[in-house]
Chain A
């Protein structure tokens, strides 16, 4: 794995060269917070952020995505036939994604790209992106990534990891895509040296020690699912919840969607939208029955899915990368760290 040094003086110029070749996405300030968006020419990603308010999952998996179009006009030969929409899956790069958000794509991949089922839209969009990560020298105080299978300098899922080192960036190249990105930018790739790797290691250790928020997940797997499901603490955990979708929409690892047909006159589209297990409609059956018609059941579902069902099903840790967004944005301060510890220490 190669580490190169990019002088910050050459940063803008390199990105400009890249922007001529393919679209760049990055964080920019919008009002009081940062969002991920496609950068227009000469626009630089704003790397002064801690993290974007919402996760960049929408770059690969938009909140609303039109899949098909159709006409109901029987005079048309192709009436009532769903026709796939042309989409742009040309290569693009996301510059300035935090390691937790990049790792999150790998968790989501377990749902969208399995041997049995392959979601063509997600897979093509994911394959199109080169992820240029930006290591967290100053993690947020409610990040708990180091105990959620991730970390401020975590490499999984990234093509390049950029590390801010005062007047320059250290760029750790981790894949062929990453190599191409760096070469296309024209940054000198020959300057790799061992002492740069050490510099990265030193900064990494410094960042990791700043993360003091923790979760314990070691006992989740051994818990009896039914006992945990029936635990008495759920009433207390769920009380404050207002059942909005903020936690699920802000979460980089929440993947649920709903498919809708929208018709206007005789033409229509089939569209898929993010959905949220916090909403009663999420489980509303055609019969009228709703197996999760109470708030507590929905709150429990969210935590059980992330911290128990997922753990059991994939044997690969929790469905969470510890980015802390749900904690920061929850209007009523429901804290996944607290709930995780309650579950992990639960004795029936």
Chain B
């Protein structure tokens, strides 16, 4: 679909042939429209099946943690930031990964497209920033930029921040974006309004943990909600337990989240879980001038102490 699929394949084949890596982690074509499947490739045949298009929203850094092989990994901007985070957090060694950088112009939100039509979407193809959509009685084209995942519309790191190979020329970064309009709206609410907002936000959660499991940050060997000795959180549909899970998970991601959107993309119920992680992302930016996953040189604000750390909250 994009010209650089061929480039990704060429790089992958070379890395495998020269034994620079043991496997490539990338995407293969999905079985339903607007979906691709994360996969590994160890052979030229498997490399041949690799794809790259606007349906590669899942964050592949999620597939790196604790692997022992040498890995070539296809990485868009956010994936690369999570690889940086993984390296900082000792989940993978820098020299263990060959990062095949893929400059990105955003991934599409299939639920947005599905909601635009009364009929089922049967095929979506893309070219030059336009999406051709086909379904029963539907044959139309729309602008890709109108149906991007929300996090992609405000993304300011489309290019990989760290890479060893590059599958295409770097793209222009967005600069004039208002990232936190939605967060400010919630910050301005009264406590009662906030309560109601969060209650409604999480009301459809089925605790499938797709948000957590799609997240590269959530690699704990045993998540706090899965601890059984002692058991910290109840397992039922009790709203307090559901909120505890979401709020605590968000806090665990503070200063680490790259707003890659994998959580929201994975949620089967369409819950806007990024609202929680974005608030903490905003706090880290304002309090510590910190954006996660941009550099290997600095420790994240929450795992280091500096005498000039803000302490206004101590009254």
Check B238–A245 contact: CB distance below 8 A: no
**Proximity bits, B34-73, A CB within 8 Å = 1, else 0:** 0111111000000000000000001000110000000000
In the assembled complex, A54 has its CB within 8 A of some CB on chain B: yes
Q: Which residue of B lies closest to A280 (CB)?
A: B226
Find chain A residues with CB under 8 A from B136 CB.
138
Q: Which residue of A lies closest to B225 (CB)?
A: A281
Instruction: Given A243-B213, A245-B209, A338-B31, answer yes or no on A64-B236 (Cβ-Cβ < 8 Å).
Output: yes
Report the Cα distance A329→B111, complex, angstroms: 11
Chain B residues within 8 Å of chain A by Cβ, number: 41
Check A246–B210 contact: CB distance below 8 A: yes
In the assembled complex, A142 has its CB within 8 A of some CB on chain B: yes
Check A242–B32 contact: CB distance below 8 A: no
Q: Which residue of A lies closest to B135 (CB)?
A: A141
Q: B214 touches which one: A244, A249, A276, A338 (CB < 8 A)?
A: A244
Q: A271 touches which one: B39, B120, B122, B236 (CB < 8 A)?
A: B236
Report the Cα distance A218→B214, complex, angstroms: 35
Q: Chain B interface: which of A27-35, A96-104, A195-203? A: A27-35
Q: Chain A interface: which of B124-132, B139-147, B179-187, B265-273? A: B265-273
In the assembled complex, B175 has its CB within 8 A of some CB on chain A: no
> What secondary structure prevails in chain B residues at the interface with A?
loop
Closest CB of chain B to A60's CB: distance in Å? 16
Check B235–A332 contact: CB distance below 8 A: no
Q: A63 touches which one: B206, B214, B266 (CB < 8 A)?
A: B206
In the assembled complex, A185 has its CB within 8 A of some CB on chain B: no
In the assembled complex, A109 has its CB within 8 A of some CB on chain B: no
Check B208–A245 contact: CB distance below 8 A: yes
Chain A residues within 8 Å of chain B by Cβ, number: 44
Instruction: Given A53-B269, A239-B63, answer yes or no on A332-B37 (Cβ-Cβ < 8 Å).
Output: yes
**Proximity bits, B230-267, A CB within 8 Å = 1, else 0:** 00001111100000000000000000000000000111
Check B213–A244 contact: CB distance below 8 A: yes
Which residues 59-82 in A have Cβ within 8 Å of B in the complex?
A: 63-64
Find chain B residues with CB under 8 A from A30 CB.
204
Report the Cα distance A260→B275, complex, angstroms: 31
Report the Cα distance A260→B231, complex, angstroms: 11
Report the Cα distance A111→B33, complex, angstroms: 35
Closest CB of chain A to B155's CB: distance in Å? 20
Find chain A residues with CB under 8 A from B58 CB.
331-332
Which residues 118-141 in A have Cβ within 8 Å of B in the complex?
A: 138, 140-141
Check A242–B213 contact: CB distance below 8 A: yes
What is A's interface to B at a CB cutoff of 8 Å? 30-33, 35, 50, 53-54, 63-64, 138, 140-142, 236, 239-240, 242-246, 249-250, 258, 260, 262, 271, 273, 276, 279-281, 284, 327-329, 331-335, 337-338
Q: List 12 A-B contacts (CB under 8 A).
A: A63-B237, A64-B237, A236-B39, A242-B210, A245-B209, A262-B238, A279-B209, A280-B222, A327-B32, A331-B210, A331-B265, A338-B31
